[in-house]
């Protein structure tokens, strides 16, 4: 059931599992736990509709590093950031889970194979058509004969598929209302967690009109996004013996690095493809093989090459336009080259608390987003590698990517906030273990992309949902209802 807000009739509540955050992670987890005889509490800080982001909004904060809008990149209502999600879906590659010597802090405490069953289920939760191929669709060559990745062994294709996109708050609202074992509270902001003898004993919440609520549970799960998960742990002064809470904040950056002339088929842009009689919406990315990435010590990456029309070059004069018209008539395609390259973990890229509090008494955050020098150099190295590869394959590429000394690397962030409560095998190098339980506390778990140790270049939503489904199975097992 969904309760419109926190009222005075519920000063204290008790659950088997209490989940804080009503986005893709929290909703997926709650519904996956439902039907097993557990009492589940789901607490969403917002309501059913978007809020006005005024100067006093709880998500307002300070920027100490690379410019970043802390408020507009997050949404505080049921469904969370799925409400402005573009539907892009791709799982992290097996490479992303591995230890890579050229990337410090790389390596997850679980492999991609451990997530595969949950990724298959996440495709259904996220309503992603795969043409009947399942996970294989992300590497499938959908009849791309004559593409550049066929022309050189160092190149390969990596597909993105698309959710409608699924707005979790709307799509799964009825399921939440129908579930008799889920109580979903709106306007319930988590203020602080308190602990006793190595476990969370109580969560304190507050509504926008000042009503306070105390929640106890066998298991507590933070699912509020990378910024709020870290903010809560820092304010509660818990789960941080490693000093990694708030550290390694990252987001994906998309950067146009040049233009290409291609004398073969190019569909490295979003379009409809077919598998038999099934149509799939896909966005193929040109990428490099695992061996090539390792040889040149590059992070993971993908490249899209949308066509440049002759009309878009009118600003360059009629001479350039005539040349381009001639090229296009000779079946040569002129394209932008836009790279989506993995940013690497940086412990100095972090979230901390300020001395200013919001209306709930929670300190506001300060974000110091830093991009490693390795990432800037990796993009330069990619451009140096890619140009000759495209040339050997029969194309031409003009790279004009430059970064002034001391400047922030160019590119637009994607609102994919990750890394602030990183997963690790050892307690001294992260916040949660492979089961997403905080190393320091027996009953506190964290869901969402804040647990990602490394980030790949894929949008995080599909992996977020898969990790939540895996966590649901783990909690069921601990509660003795695994076979329910």
CATH of the domain at 88: 3.50.50.60
317 versus 18: the higher-pLDDT residue is 18
Please indicate, yes or no, whether residues 135 and 124 belong to a single structural domain of this protein. no
Which pLDDT does position 315 carry in this prediction? Answer: 42
Which pLDDT does position 311 carry in this prediction? Answer: 43
pLDDT over 60 at 199, yes or no: yes
Which pLDDT does position 23 carry in this prediction? Answer: 98
Please indicate, yes or no, whether residues 158 and 173 belong to a single structural domain of this protein. no
**Cα–Cα distance measured from residue 88 to residue 163, given in angstroms and rounded to the nearest whole number:** 7
Q: CA dist 214 to 18, 120, 171, 273, 434, Å? A: 11, 37, 29, 51, 29
H or E element in which residue 255 lies:
strand 253-262
Say if 350 falls within a structural domain: no
DSSP 433: -
Last residue of a domain, one of 407, 427, 458: 407
Say if 124 falls within a structural domain: yes
Please indicate, yes or no, whether residues 225 and 299 belong to a single structural domain of this protein. no
Last residue of a domain, one of 407, 429, 453: 407
pTM: 0.94
**Cα–Cα distance measured from residue 372 to residue 416, given in angstroms and rounded to the nearest whole number:** 17
pLDDT interval class at 406 (50, 70, 90): low
Which pLDDT does position 430 carry in this prediction? Answer: 98
Please indicate, yes or no, whether residues 3 and 143 belong to a single structural domain of this protein. no
Which pLDDT does position 131 carry in this prediction? Answer: 94
Mean pLDDT of the chain: 90
Please indicate, yes or no, whether residues 40 and 120 belong to a single structural domain of this protein. yes
Please indicate, yes or no, whether residues 61 and 142 belong to a single structural domain of this protein. no
Cα 281 to its chain centre, rounded Å, is 20
Which pLDDT does position 463 carry in this prediction? Answer: 98
**Category of 107 on φ-ψ map: left (φ > 0), alpha (ψ -120 to 50) or beta:** left
Please indicate, yes or no, whether residues 242 and 139 belong to a single structural domain of this protein. no
Say if 109 falls within a structural domain: yes
Which pLDDT does position 389 carry in this prediction? Answer: 82
- Which is it for the CA torsion 4, 7, 10, 16, positive or negative? positive
**Cα–Cα distance measured from residue 120 to residue 27, given in angstroms and rounded to the nearest whole number:** 18
Report the share of the chain in percent with pLDDT over 70.
Answer: 90
**Cα–Cα distance measured from residue 31 to residue 71, given in angstroms and rounded to the nearest whole number:** 28
Say if 462 falls within a structural domain: yes
Please indicate, yes or no, whether residues 293 and 312 belong to a single structural domain of this protein. yes
Please indicate, yes or no, whether residues 79 and 220 belong to a single structural domain of this protein. yes
Please indicate, yes or no, whether residues 92 and 231 belong to a single structural domain of this protein. yes
Instruction: Provide the H-helix boundaries in 247-344.
Output: 290-295, 318-329
Please indicate, yes or no, whether residues 192 and 292 belong to a single structural domain of this protein. no
Say if 351 falls within a structural domain: no
Query: What's the whole-number mean pLDDT along residues 114-125?
Result: 98
Q: What is the pLDDT of residues 352-392, one digit of tens each?
A: 999 999 999 999 999 999 999 999 889 888 988 888 888 87
Last residue of a domain, one of 407, 426, 456: 407
Which residues does residue 339 pair with via DSSP β-bridges, in sequence order? Answer: 255, 303
Say if 102 falls within a structural domain: yes
Q: Closest by alpha carbon to 2, among 43, 33, 35? A: 43
Q: Which domain holds residue 109?
A: 1-128+166-250+417-484
pLDDT interval class at 333 (50, 70, 90): confident
Token pair listed for 347:
């412990």
**Cα–Cα distance measured from residue 364 to residue 172, given in angstroms and rounded to the nearest whole number:** 31
DSSP symbols for 375-416: HHHHHHHHHHHHHHHHHHTT-EEEE-----TTPPPP-EE-S-
Say if 353 falls within a structural domain: no
Say if 100 falls within a structural domain: yes
pLDDT over 80 at 212, yes or no: yes
Which pLDDT does position 452 carry in this prediction? Answer: 98
Which pLDDT does position 308 carry in this prediction? Answer: 84
Query: What's the whole-number mean pLDDT along residues 388-401?
Result: 78
Please indicate, yes or no, whether residues 303 and 429 belong to a single structural domain of this protein. no
Query: What's the whole-number mean pLDDT along residues 142-165?
Result: 88
CA triplet 221, 459, 433: central angle to 5 degrees? Answer: 35
pLDDT interval class at 94 (50, 70, 90): very high
* 222 in Cβ contact with 446 (< 8 Å): yes
Which of 61-70, 253-262, 459-468 has the highest mean predicted lDDT (pLDDT)?
A: 459-468
The number of distinct structural domains making up the chain is 2
Q: Is residue 140 packed enough to be buried (19+ CB in 10 Å), middle (13-18) or exposed (0-12)?
A: buried
């Amino acid at each position: 059931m969904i309760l419109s807000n926190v009222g005075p009739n519920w000063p204290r509540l008790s659950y088997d599992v209490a989940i804080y955050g009503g986005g893709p992670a929290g909703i997926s987890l709650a519904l996956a736990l439902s039907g097993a005889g557990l009492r589940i509490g789901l607490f969403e800080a917002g309501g059913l509709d978007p809020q006005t982001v005024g100067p006093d909004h709880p998500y307002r904060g300070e920027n100490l590093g690379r410019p970043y809008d802390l408020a507009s990149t997050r949404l505080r209502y049921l469904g969370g950031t799925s409400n402005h999600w573009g539907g892009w879906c791709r799982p992290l590659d097996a490479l992303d889970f591995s230890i890579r010597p050229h990337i410090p802090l790389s390596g997850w405490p679980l492999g991609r194979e451990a997530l595969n069953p949950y990724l298959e289920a996440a495709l259904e939760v996220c309503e992603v058509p795969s043409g009947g191929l399942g996970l294989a669709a992300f590497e499938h060559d959908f009849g791309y004969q004559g593409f550049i990745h066929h022309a050189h062994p160092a190149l390969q294709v990596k597909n993105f598929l698309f959710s409608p996109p699924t707005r979790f708050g709307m799509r799964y609202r009825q399921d939440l209302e129908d579930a008799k074992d889920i109580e979903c509270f709106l306007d319930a902001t988590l203020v602080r967690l308190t602990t006793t003898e190595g476990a969370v004993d109580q969560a304190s919440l507050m509504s926008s009109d000042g009503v306070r609520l105390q929640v106890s549970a066998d298991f507590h799960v933070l699912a509020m996004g990378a910024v709020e998960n870290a903010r809560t742990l820092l304010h509660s002064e818990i789960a941080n013996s490693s000093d990694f809470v708030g550290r390694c904040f990252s987001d994906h950056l998309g950067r146009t690095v040049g233009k290409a002339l291609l004398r073969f088929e190019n569909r490295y842009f979003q379009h409809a493809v077919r598998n038999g009689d099934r149509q799939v919406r896909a966005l193929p990315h040109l990428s490099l093989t695992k061996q090539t990435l390792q040889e040149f010590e590059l992070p993971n990456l993908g490249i899209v090459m949308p066509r440049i029309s002759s009309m878009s070059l009118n600003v360059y004069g009629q001479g350039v336009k005539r040349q381009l018209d001639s090229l296009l008539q000779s079946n040569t395609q002129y394209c932008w080259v836009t790279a989506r390259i993995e940013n690497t973990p940086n412990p100095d890229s972090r979230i901390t608390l300020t001395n200013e509090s919001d209306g709930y008494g929670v300190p506001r955050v300060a974000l110091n987003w830093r991009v490693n020098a390795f990432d800037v150099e990796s993009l330069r190295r990619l451009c140096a590698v890619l140009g000759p590869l495209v040339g050997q394959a029969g194309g031409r590429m003009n790279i004009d990517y430059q970064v002034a000394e001391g400047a922030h690397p160019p590119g637009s962030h994607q609102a994919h906030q990750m890394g602030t409560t990183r997963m690790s095998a050892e307690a001294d190098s992260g916040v949660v273990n492979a089961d997403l339980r905080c190393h320091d506390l027996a009953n506190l778990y964290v869901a969402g992309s804040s647990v990602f140790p490394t980030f790949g270049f894929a949008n995080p939503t599909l992996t977020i949902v898969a990790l939540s489904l895996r966590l649901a199975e783990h909690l069921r097992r601990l509660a003795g209802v695994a076979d329910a």
